[in-house]
Amino acid sequence: MKNIFFILYFLLSLSSCSQTSEKKTNKQGLLWKISGNGLQQSSYLFGTHHYTSGKYLCKIQGFIEAFDSVQQIIVEIDSLNLIESQNIRNYYKTEKFLPTNVKYSTLLNERDYSVLDSITVKHWNIHADKVPLKPNALYEELDKEVRKDNQLENLFKKHIPDSLLMYTIGIKAGLDSNNWPMDFYISKKAKNTGYKIIGLESIEYSTRLALSPSIDIKNEAKSTVYRLINQDKISEAIALAYSAYLQQNLELWQKKTELIAKLSFSDGIDLYDVKERNQNWIPIIKSAIAQEASMIAVGVGHLSGKYGLIELLRQEGYTVEEFK
C-alpha cells in the first residue's frame, strides 16, 4: 500500500507469460480458489506483493489459468484511475505534516525522544522537535539515511535464491520500465483484456492510511523510534519475509511479518486497519463474485490469520482452498 502512488502516472508494457510456474511443497501458497455457497463459477483470491515485479506472476502455478477464467478483477485500489490519482501528490504534501504545536518531545518519553533527537541531529543536523513530519513520514525519510548502503540489497541476495532475485523491485531508487509492480501489472493486464476493475478502496484513503495509521500519534511516534532502533533486525526480517513470499510460503511469510511487528512495537496493534478493512471488503466481494467470476488480487497481508480474507470467506459459507 505505502508509496504506491509513485507508480500511478506510468504505463505498463505487458508481455506474455511463458509457462514457467513451479510446483510447491509448502502447505499454503498465494493463490486460492473460492467456490460453493451458491456460486455458479469459481472465483480466485491472490496475495500480491507491492514491491514484486509483475513478471513474477508467471511463476505462480495456476495463475494464468485462473486469470483467464474470470470476467473481472477486484483490487485494493484502482491504480489506473488517473483522474483520482492526480490529486494525491498535493494531498501527500499537506497530510504528511504534524498538527500545529505538536512536537516529538511531547509525544515521546525522555529516553525515546533522546534516541530520536540523536538520529535527526546526526543525519539532518536538526533537533527532533524542529522536524514537522508525522511519524510515518519521518520514518520513511530517516530510513533512507539510517539504512546502510545497499543493506537491503545485500540481505536480499543473502536470503533470496538467485533464480528469484530478478523479480524484486524497489531495492534501489527508480524503477526499471520493464519491471513494473505486480498490482499495477495486474490492473493493466485486466484493462487490456477488457475486464471490469473493482476497487475496494480509494487511492486517497490508502494514502491517508499510510500517513496516519490507526493508532494514536503517541504510539505511532514510539513505533517509529523502535523501528529506527531495530533497523538492522527489521531489515533482516524484511528480507526473510520477502524470500518466503517469493517461495510462495504464506505460513512462513506470516511468521516473519509477525516478527517485524514485534520489532516495531506494533505487535498486537492493527496499524493499518487490516481487520476492519477486510470485514468491510467482504460484502463487496460477496456481491461481486455472485454476479461474475472474479480474481481478487490484494496485498498478501490480507489473506491469512483469524481476520484474513481466507477465514472470513469460509465463515460466509464459501469453500476456500489453495489452487494449484
Report pLDDT for 8: 31
pLDDT in tens, 292-309: 999 999 999 999 989 999
Q: Assess whether pLDDT exceeds 70 at residue 1.
A: no
pLDDT in tens, 6-29: 333 332 333 345 444 555 444 589
Report pLDDT for 267: 56
HEC letters along the chain: CCCHHHHCCCCCCCCCCCCCCCCCCCCCCCEEEEECCCCCCCEEEEEECCCEEHHHHHHCCCHHHHHHCCCEEEEEECCCCHHHHCCHHHHHHHHCECCCCCCHHHHCCHHHHHHHHHHHHHHHCCCHHHCCECHHHHHHHHHHHHCCCCHHHHHHHHHCCHHHHCCECCCCCCCCCCCCEHHHHHHHHHHHHCCEEEEEECHHHHHHHHHCCCCCHHHHHHHHHHHHHCHHHHHHHHHHHHHHHHCCCHHHHHHHHHHHHHHCCCCCCCCCCHHHHHHHHHHHHHHHHHHCCEEEEEEHHHCCCCCCHHHHHHHCCCEEEECC
Q: Assess whether pLDDT exceeds 90 at residue 244.
A: yes
pLDDT in tens, 176-222: 545 678 988 899 899 999 999 999 987 777 766 765 655 688 988 99
Report pLDDT for 7: 33
Report pLDDT for 274: 84
Report pLDDT for 144: 78
pLDDT in tens, 142-157: 887 777 666 778 888 8
